[in-house]
Structure 1
Amino acid sequence: MENDEEVASFDTSHESRFINERRSNIKSDLIEITEDKLENILLKHIKKVGTRKGWLAPLGIFISVILANISASFSTKFGISANTWEATFILANLGSGLWLLTSLVAMWLNWKESSTEFLICKIKDSDET
């Protein structure tokens, strides 16, 4: 306790009948950064944050198309044969499956860079990740 500035202060006075003890620990780092640099960092980070949830849409489409393909009995509609409808759903299933796979890989590759801690370190311009 050589440096009193780094120690949290305790206030044991009873200002209110609801507050038993008050503690104050409000020291923080000050980060100075220009607006354009902060904007660049945030714009790059937003793209990476999107990868964390980017797999949800392809998963929903993938499951929907699989369920439709499994449960449907295709027939000729709008002048298109049953086999063509079935092939269309199979292709849609393959496409959404590939989209899901690439989204999961992108999420895995960008997991660390999409975290809040990484963003703060980028803003601070430090290597503490």
Structure 2
Amino acid sequence: MENNEQIASFETSDASESRFVNERRSNVKSDLIEITEDKLENILLKHLKKMGTRKGWLAPLGLFISVVLANVSAAFTEKFGIPANTWEAVFILAAIGSGIWLVASLIAMWLNWKESTTDFLICQIKDSEQE
């Protein structure tokens, strides 16, 4: 019903205004949202954290790939007085740690997916339920 009302609210005018314009339509009806500055700032700060989870998996993925490739392709030798086996163990632990970080980031992204959209932000600002 609301869409029909919006369609009916279009205004038209004839081409007498300009020789290049056949028809003019106006659809400027919109909702007005009033909110205090501190409440808007609070909503935006919370939303920015959730938006960060959408790309938060990129850093652990890059680190995981780098460490795994280094571990697979490297021939570890004794450096700085540290034996080769210790270097290999450090890289294996780094791969495990970055893998856990990657899985945790992917889970966080999945859990916050709907809350990190622009529509959700607008609903938060309007203080209404998401449709």
TM-score normalised by L of structure 1: 0.89
1:53 corresponds in structure 2 to 55
Q: In structure 1, list runs of 5 or more residues that go unmatched.
A: none
Q: CA deviation at 1:20?
A: 4.3
2:27 corresponds in structure 1 to 25
2:119 corresponds in structure 1 to 117
The structure whose residues are more often helix, as a share, is 2
Match of 1:83 among 82, 85, 94: 85
Q: In structure 2, list runs of 5 or more residues that go unmatched.
A: none
Flag as ranges the 4+ runs of structure 1 deviating above 6 A.
Answer: none
Taking only aligned residues, the RMSD between alpha carbons, in angstroms, comes to 1.9
1:15 corresponds in structure 2 to 18
Aligned partners of 1:22 and 1:68: how far apart in 2?
63
2:102 corresponds in structure 1 to 100
Report the AA paired with residue 39 of structure 2. K
Match of 2:12, SS state, is strand
How many residues are treated as equivalent by the alignment? Answer: 126
Aligned partners of 2:19 and 2:103: how far apart in 1?
58
Aligned partners of 2:7 and 2:101: how far apart in 1?
54
TM-score normalised by L of structure 2: 0.88
Q: CA deviation at 1:116?
A: 0.6
Aligned partners of 1:63 and 1:108: how far apart in 2?
21
